[in-house]
Amino acid sequence: MVSASRAGQYIDQLEGYKAFIPSPLPPTPEVIMDQEMWNLLSQADRALGRLDGATDALPNPDLFVFMYVRKEAVLSSQIEGTQASLIDVLEFESQALEPDNPQDVVEVVNYISAINYGLERLKELPVSLRLIREIHQELMKGVRGAERNPGEFRRSQNWIGSAGCSLAEATYVPPPPHEMIQSLNNLEDFLHSPQPMPTLIKVGLAHAQFETIHPFLDGNGRTGRLLITFLLCEQNILQRPLLYISYYFKKNRAEYYDRLQAVRDIGNWEGWLKFFLRGVYEVAQEAAATARKIVNLKEEHRQLVLNEMGRRSGNAIALLESLYFRPIFNVEHAEAITNLSYQNANTLIRDLSDIGLLEEITGQKRNRAFSYAPYLAVFQDL
């Protein structure tokens, strides 16, 4: 029989509110691995294996990772209320255009550097409280919440609820600071425990526990979602950071929060884990399909250029190759890649636009910027 206090307890605080103190992982009694759970686990594992295989088959897996990381950063940040789109971020990075919402764009760009930073650090440091603090610091550099101790666990009470609500009106109050430190130490012990457990179950438990502890004053959601990626890469479930679950969490946002809350309120770990495993399966399938689309697109466009542009196709293909990493660009970029004069680079762009591969995106006569529209469309659909 699962009791309401299985995941922890709401404890009255002297200040007159109840805060949740999580029990250490793994849950007691242990997670019920019924037939549905085994099926979902098996499906999710197979989908991750196929995703890893599909990206291995790519001529250049990095170009897929490059865009996927940016898409995930945008979605994870949008869950927290930022308005920046994938196009905004690519425009900002290409320096071709000034973004309308620079603050939001910087938040997404920080997320991208936190992913890259964390993957680099994993080569010498396991997923640990130290790594989590370092990632948080990267995430919060110079953005909203930057004044709220980036890279430091909180020393005051925080809470979750509608905008402007007080502690008494909160939907959820995480453990107070002195209890929080113990909970974090317990989480780290669980991450490093040699006790056998299916990796995806362990990752699902760790993400929910991290969100329950809510150890930072800001940026907990984004840090907790990054934790999923880092754990999968650390465990060699994925060679590259390609499982981005924010798409699924954003699409099922209300259920995501409800499932986490049901763990705290009634100890329903199984409901949360099944929701999580469905998400892993769905986004792994989606990512493998996207990888295949890109391979086909690349070949199709190469053929189109060879058929339509004859002897000028060498420069055209060189420019297109560069656009997988920089799908928004200006004429100067085309000049630099092809060593053509400004006028000839301009003509090349016009020819590629005529066959439907490029689009002008500013509507201006000067300082124009272009996009590799069909390639961007693959990610816009996600």
Q: What would the pLDDT profile of 248-286 be if each residue is shown by its tens digit?
A: 999 999 999 999 999 999 999 999 999 999 999 999 999
Tell me the chain's radius of gyration from C-alpha atoms: 23
Is the distance from CB of 6 to CB of 29 less than 8 angstroms? yes
Strand order in the sheet with 370-371: 328-329, 370-371, 359-360
For the structural domain made of 32-290, what CATH number should be given?
1.10.3290.10
For residue 250, give every residue at least 6 positions away whose Cβ sits within 8 Å of its Cβ, in sequence order, or none.
75, 78, 79
- Mapping DSSP to helix (H, G, I), strand (E, B) and coil, where does residue 305 land? helix
**Is the preceding omega at residue 59 within 30 degrees of 0, hence cis?**
no
- 187 versus 148: the higher-pLDDT residue is 187
- 295 versus 173: the higher-pLDDT residue is 173
Q: How many CB atoms lie within 10 A of CB 93?
A: 17
> For position 96, what pLDDT does the model report?
63
What CA–CA distances, in Å, run from 100 to 84, 104, 216, 327?
A: 9, 9, 29, 19
pLDDT of 241 > 90? The answer is no
**CATH class of the 295-380 domain in this structure:** mainly alpha
Among 22-26, 310-314, 349-353, 378-382, the range scoring the smallest mean pLDDT is 378-382
Parse the chain into domains and list their residue ranges.
Answer: 32-290, 295-380
Q: What is the mean pLDDT of residues 61-69?
A: 80
Percentage above 70 pLDDT, the chain: 95
pLDDT of 98 > 80? The answer is no
Q: What is the mean pLDDT of residues 343-356?
A: 94
- 363 versus 327: the higher-pLDDT residue is 327
Label residue 58 left, alpha or beta by phi (over 0 means left) and psi (-120 to 50 means alpha): beta
Q: Do domains 32-290 and 295-380 have the same CATH topology?
A: no
> For position 226, what pLDDT does the model report?
92
Q: What is the mean pLDDT of residues 107-113?
A: 87
Picking from 151, 263, 281, the residue whose alpha carbon sits closest to that of residue 209 is: 263
Q: What is the mean pLDDT of residues 316-326?
A: 91
Residue 319 to residue 204: CA distance in whole angstroms: 42
Q: What is the mean pLDDT of residues 314-338?
A: 92
Question: What average pLDDT does the chain have?
Answer: 90
- 94 versus 372: the higher-pLDDT residue is 372
Residue 282 to residue 285: CA distance in whole angstroms: 5
Q: What is the mean pLDDT of residues 160-164?
A: 86
Under the banding of pLDDT at 50, 70 and 90, the label for residue 239 is: confident
> For position 374, what pLDDT does the model report?
95
Q: What is the mean pLDDT of residues 312-332?
A: 91
Q: What would the pLDDT profile of 194-211 be if each residue is shown by its tens digit?
A: 999 999 999 999 999 999
